[in-house]
């Protein structure tokens, strides 16, 4: 696609054609009060080297994961990405490609999409996956709509241990469609099976949980699946890090009917929060209600293997307002990176990454539990993330630790004002024991009550 | 092409009253225009359907279209053979290619449907 600016001649030609004298006339409907009458407050133009230096200086003010040691997760995970992933994904043929309207022209793209779908199915233990969505949160919202369409019920029960932003996006999406989203409060960081039984009934389209959950906890997925199925509801599993299924039982093996997830951890950088990679996978019997693009394998007129976009008659460009979804596109480049990443690692590599995440996170969890003033907030099994009780407000702690060279985690007060002293900490395979030991020392130092303040408190007591 | 004894919707479904039940399918005219039919999505037995509201979807290589209920009532039978042989709809739309049987709530809804003559006019075949 080319973007060619107009010449003054072209502009006056266009203005004449639509019957106005000048640009000023064209904008005549815009009220005077909101119009900018002074020049834009732009600085003088910079030469290329000056411009690069300026932006470098701006970038250096960021506290980012390349400069600080990252223990933050909460839906965006700092896994190691082998350089080969983007060396390949950034090739011009992929990086600049826009899906052509005749998608089958680009057999290479479609083949990569087909491989992606296959790998996602293997990782999640599901039968069919689409060629990707925007991100984990919007994928989950699409799945709520899909559940309604499959069950003809218009209520979803969503665990309070699902990422708060995922829940928010789901509500934004479903409320105008008349789908009611009921939140199941978490019990000490986990979804309660007993509580779920109370809410999941014959009016419920789906029970939605996250595995591992937002607090890093490993949910009793099989028991929760039974609760959903006993009520004739679908069991929907969200995940923010599919690499967990290198170790945990994949959702398909514990009764998931639909999986919605975030594929960023698969070879995609943190990217300031996007573009990310939405995953949807389901059982074959539900494929016609699955939104998004789907690549299928076929044979051409000469009997040679080829790839097509399949089931397109369900999509918006053909079915208009009755389409399965209003999303007609996908995140191909991110899906491609995930495909290359998973190919490089292979099943053993994925298991190894998951094991390292688990072991390292548990090492740090033990070290922090021993620190005076700190504690582990919730009891129960965790994967690579856990909630720390902090001696001072977690947000303050995070600010102080940034000065010590750490992204210490995500303060949960951001999502729940009652959780001021709760810090969500993540350890991926990319962290070293030395980094964790330094982090523990820094937590100890920063968490110590300040001399003078504690003396005052002491006198009062 | 358009059997005399049936009633029709403007959306090309037919309905045949059989005692206190009503059998539903799509017309040959519609089936021919859809070309190759690859999938028919039908409701489960027991589902309530409402007059001229969608009860399923028919999918061909060209399009996916809604199927409209010619009568309100409860679905009491579904043509399970269409799951594996959707092509029956094209081959024998008024026979083997039937879709559902409804227990109608209100047979007076029949008066709001087209008879064969008016359906023929509707599709321009008179």
Q: How far apart are CA A434 and CA A304, in angstroms?
A: 54
Q: Is A356 helix (H, G, I), strand (E, B) or coil?
A: helix
CATH topology for the A69-78+347-460 domain: 3.90.1150
Distance of CA A340 to the CA centre of its chain: 19
Establish if B117 belongs to a structural domain: no
- In chain A, ranges of CATH 3.90.1150.10 domains: 69-78+347-460
Nearest to A314 among B61, B62, B64 (CB): B64
Residues in B touching A288 (Cβ below 8 Å) = 39, 41, 57, 59
Average pLDDT over residues B44-63: 92
Which pLDDT value is given to residue A2? 60
Q: Distance (Å) from the C-alpha of residue B62 to the closest C-alpha of chain A?
A: 7
For A194-235, the pLDDT digits (tens) are 999 999 999 999 999 999 999 999 999 999 999 999 999 999
Q: Distance (Å) from the C-alpha of residue A381 to the closest C-alpha of chain B?
A: 41
Between strands A258-262 and A385-389, the pairing is unpaired
Is A461's pLDDT higher than 50? Answer: no
Is A460's pLDDT higher than 50? Answer: no
Establish if B115 belongs to a structural domain: no
**Interface pTM (ipTM) of the complex?**
0.75
Give burial (CB, 10 Å; 0-12/13-18/19+) of A306: middle
Establish if B81 belongs to a structural domain: yes
Is A454's pLDDT higher than 80? Answer: no
Is A89's pLDDT higher than 90? Answer: yes
Nearest to B104 by CA among B79, B77, B75, B80: B75
Q: How far apart are CA A191 and CA A236, in angstroms?
A: 13
For A351-396, the pLDDT digits (tens) are 999 999 999 999 999 999 999 999 999 999 999 999 999 999 999 9
Structure tokens at A373: 């003033």
Size of interface A-B (CB pairs under 8 A): 18
Average pLDDT over residues A325-335: 83
Is A456's pLDDT higher than 60? Answer: no
CB contact under 8 A, A313 and B47: no
Domain of B88, in residue numbers: 7-106
Count of domains observed in chain B: 1
Average pLDDT over residues B112-116: 95
- Which of A41-45, A190-194, A251-255, B44-48 is predicted least confidently? A41-45
∠ Cα A21 A27 A31 (to 5°): 135
What share of residues in chain B are helix, strand, coil (percent, to 5)? Answer: 20, 35, 40
Which pLDDT value is given to residue A459? 46
Which pLDDT value is given to residue B51? 96
Which pLDDT value is given to residue A448? 82
For A131-169, the pLDDT digits (tens) are 999 999 999 999 999 999 999 999 999 999 999 999 999
Instruction: Give me the percent of chain A exceeding a pLDDT of 70.
Output: 95
Please report, to the nearest 10 degrees, the dihedral formed by the alpha carbons of residues A107, A108, A111, A116 taken in order.
-140
Structural contact between residues B91 and B43, judged by C-beta atoms closer than 8 angstroms: no
For B57-94, the pLDDT digits (tens) are 999 888 888 999 999 999 999 999 999 999 999 999 99
Which pLDDT value is given to residue A323? 80
Q: Is A276 helix (H, G, I), strand (E, B) or coil?
A: coil
**CB burial readout A344-371, b (16+ within 10 A) else e:** ebeeeebeebbebbbebbbbbbebbeeb
Q: Which chain B residue shows the shortest CA-CA distance from A288? A: B41
Q: Distance (Å) from the C-alpha of residue A205 to the closest C-alpha of chain B?
A: 16
Nearest to A234 by CA among A266, A216, A208, A214: A208
Nearest to A418 by CA among A438, A440, A401, A393: A393
Q: What is the DSSP letter of A234?
A: E
Which helix or strand (DSSP H or E) is residue A18 part of? helix A8-18
Residue among B37, B55, B64 with most chain A CBs within 10 A, to mutate: B64
Q: DSSP states of A121-181 as a string? A: HHHHT-SEE-S-BS-HHHHHHHHHHHHHHHHT--EEEEETTS-HHHHHHHHHHHGGGT-EE
Q: Which chain A residue shows the shortest CA-CA distance from B34? A: A313
Structural contact between residues A156 and A205, judged by C-beta atoms closer than 8 angstroms: yes
Q: What is the DSSP letter of B10?
A: T
For A393-436, the pLDDT digits (tens) are 999 999 999 999 999 999 999 999 999 999 999 999 999 999 99
Is A254's pLDDT higher than 70? Answer: yes
Average pLDDT over all residues of chain A: 92
CB contact under 8 A, A318 and B63: yes
pLDDT-based confidence at A458, cuts 50/70/90? very low
CB contact under 8 A, A152 and B66: no
Give burial (CB, 10 Å; 0-12/13-18/19+) of B48: middle
Which pLDDT value is given to residue A39? 87
Q: What is the DSSP letter of A73?
A: -
Whole-angstrom Cα Rg for chain A: 26
Structural contact between residues A393 and A409, judged by C-beta atoms closer than 8 angstroms: no
Which pLDDT value is given to residue A93? 82
Q: How far apart are CA A149 and CA A328, in angstroms?
A: 18
pLDDT-based confidence at A452, cuts 50/70/90? low
CB contact under 8 A, A318 and B60: no
Query: CATH: 3.40.640.10, 3.90.870.40, 3.30.420.40, 3.40.920.10. Which one for A83-341?
Result: 3.40.640.10
Structural contact between residues A228 and A235, judged by C-beta atoms closer than 8 angstroms: yes
Q: Distance (Å) from the C-alpha of residue A298 to the closest C-alpha of chain B?
A: 15
Which pLDDT value is given to residue B62? 80
Q: How far apart are CA B66 and CA B71, in angstroms?
A: 15
For A110-123, the pLDDT digits (tens) are 999 999 999 999 99
Q: Distance (Å) from the C-alpha of residue A316 to the closest C-alpha of chain B?
A: 11
Is A313's pLDDT higher than 80? Answer: no
Establish if B42 belongs to a structural domain: yes
Residue among A296, A298, A308, A313 with most chain B CBs within 10 A, to mutate: A313
Nearest to A319 among B39, B47, B64 (CB): B64
Residues in A touching B64 (Cβ below 8 Å) = 313-314, 318-319
Nearest to A426 by CA among A409, A407, A402, A440: A409
Q: Distance (Å) from the C-alpha of residue B93 to the closest C-alpha of chain A?
A: 22
Residues in A touching B39 (Cβ below 8 Å) = 288
Nearest to A215 by CA among A347, A417, A40, A388: A388
Structure tokens at A280: 């949807």
Residues in A touching B47 (Cβ below 8 Å) = 152
Which pLDDT value is given to residue A221? 98
Establish if B126 belongs to a structural domain: no
Is A335's pLDDT higher than 60? Answer: yes
Higher pLDDT, B54 or A64: B54
CB contact under 8 A, A319 and B63: yes
Which pLDDT value is given to residue A23? 86
Residues in A touching B61 (Cβ below 8 Å) = 313
Between strands A180-184 and A155-159, the pairing is parallel
CB contact under 8 A, B62 and A152: no
Structural contact between residues A263 and A132, judged by C-beta atoms closer than 8 angstroms: yes
Nearest to A313 among B47, B59, B66 (CB): B59
Establish if B125 belongs to a structural domain: no
pLDDT-based confidence at A65, cuts 50/70/90? confident
What CATH number should be reported for the domain holding residue B86? 2.40.50.100
CB contact under 8 A, A319 and B39: no
Prediction pTM value: 0.86
Residue among A319, A323, A324, A325 with most chain B CBs within 10 A, to mutate: A319
CB contact under 8 A, A313 and B62: yes
Average pLDDT over residues A89-96: 86
- Which of A17-31, A93-107, B14-28, B108-122 is predicted least confidently? A93-107
Establish if B123 belongs to a structural domain: no
pLDDT-based confidence at A60, cuts 50/70/90? confident
Which pLDDT value is given to residue A97? 67
């Amino acid at each position: 696609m080319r973007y060619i600016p107009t010449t003054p001649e072209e502009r006056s030609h266009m203005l004449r054609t639509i019957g106005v004298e000048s640009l000023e006339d064209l904008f005549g409907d815009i009220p005077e009060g909101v119009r900018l009458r002074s020049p834009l407050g732009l600085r003088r133009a910079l030469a290329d080297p000056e411009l690069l230096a300026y932006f470098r200086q701006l970038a250096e003010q960021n506290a980012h994961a390349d400069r600080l040691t990252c223990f933050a997760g909460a839906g965006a995970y700092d896994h190691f990405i082998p350089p080969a992933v983007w060396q390949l994904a950034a090739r011009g043929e992929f990086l600049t490609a826009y899906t052509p309207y005749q998608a089958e022209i680009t057999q290479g793209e479609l083949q990569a999409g087909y491989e992606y779908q296959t790998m996602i199915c293997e990782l999640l233990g599901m039968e069919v996956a689409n060629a990707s969505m925007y991100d984990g949160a919007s994928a989950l919202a699409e799945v709520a709509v899909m559940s309604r369409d499959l069950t003809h019920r218009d209520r979803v029960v969503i665990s309070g241990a699902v990422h708060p932003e995922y829940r928010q996006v789901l509500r934004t999406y479903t409320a105008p469609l008349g789908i009611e989203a009921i939140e199941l409060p978490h019990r000490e960081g986990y979804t309660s099976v007993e509580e779920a039984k109370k809410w999941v009934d014959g009016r419920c389209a789906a029970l939605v949980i996250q595995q591992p959950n937002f607090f890093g906890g490993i949910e009793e997925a099989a028991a929760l699946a039974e609760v959903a199925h006993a009520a004739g509801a679908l069991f929907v599993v969200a995940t923010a890090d599919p690499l967990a299924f290198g170790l945990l039982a994949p959702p398909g093996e514990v009764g998931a009917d639909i999986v919605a997830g975030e594929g960023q951890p698969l070879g995609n950088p943190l990217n300031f929060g996007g573009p990310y990679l939405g995953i949807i996978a389901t059982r074959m019997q539900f494929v016609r209600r699955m939104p998004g693009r789907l690549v299928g394998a076929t044979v051409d007129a000469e009997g040679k293997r080829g790839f097509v976009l399949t089931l397109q008659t369900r999509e918006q460009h053909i079915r208009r307002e009755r389409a399965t979804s209003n999303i007609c596109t996908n995140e191909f480049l991110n899906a491609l990176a995930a495909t290359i990443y998973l190919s490089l690692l292979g099943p053993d590599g994925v298991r190894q990454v998951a094991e390292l995440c688990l072991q390292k996170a548990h090492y740090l969890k033990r070290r922090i539990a021993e620190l005076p003033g700190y504690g582990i907030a919730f009891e129960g099994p965790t994967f690579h993330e856990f909630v720390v009780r902090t001696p001072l407000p977690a947000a303050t702690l995070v600010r102080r630790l940034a000065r010590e060279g750490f992204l210490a985690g995500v303060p949960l007060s951001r999502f729940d004002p009652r959780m001021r002293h709760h810090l969500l900490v993540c350890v991926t395979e990319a962290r070293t024991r030395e980094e964790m030991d330094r982090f523990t020392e820094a937590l100890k130092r920063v968490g110590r009550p300040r001399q003078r303040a504690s003396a005052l408190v002491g006198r009062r007591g | 092409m358009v059997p005399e004894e049936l009633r029709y919707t403007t959306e090309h479904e037919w309905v045949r009253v059989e005692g206190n039940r009503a059998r539903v399918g799509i017309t040959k005219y519609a089936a021919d225009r859809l070309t190759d039919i690859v999938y028919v999505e039908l409701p489960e037995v027991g589902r309530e359907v409402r007059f001229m509201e969608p009860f399923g979807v028919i999918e061909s290589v060209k399009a996916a279209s809604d199927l409209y209920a010619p009568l309100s009532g409860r679905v009491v039978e579904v043509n399970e053979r269409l799951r594996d042989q959707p092509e029956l709809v094209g081959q024998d739309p008024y026979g083997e290619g039937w879709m559902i049987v409804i227990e109608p709530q209100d047979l007076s809804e029949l008066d709001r449907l087209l008879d064969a003559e008016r359906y023929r006019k509707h599709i321009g075949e008179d």
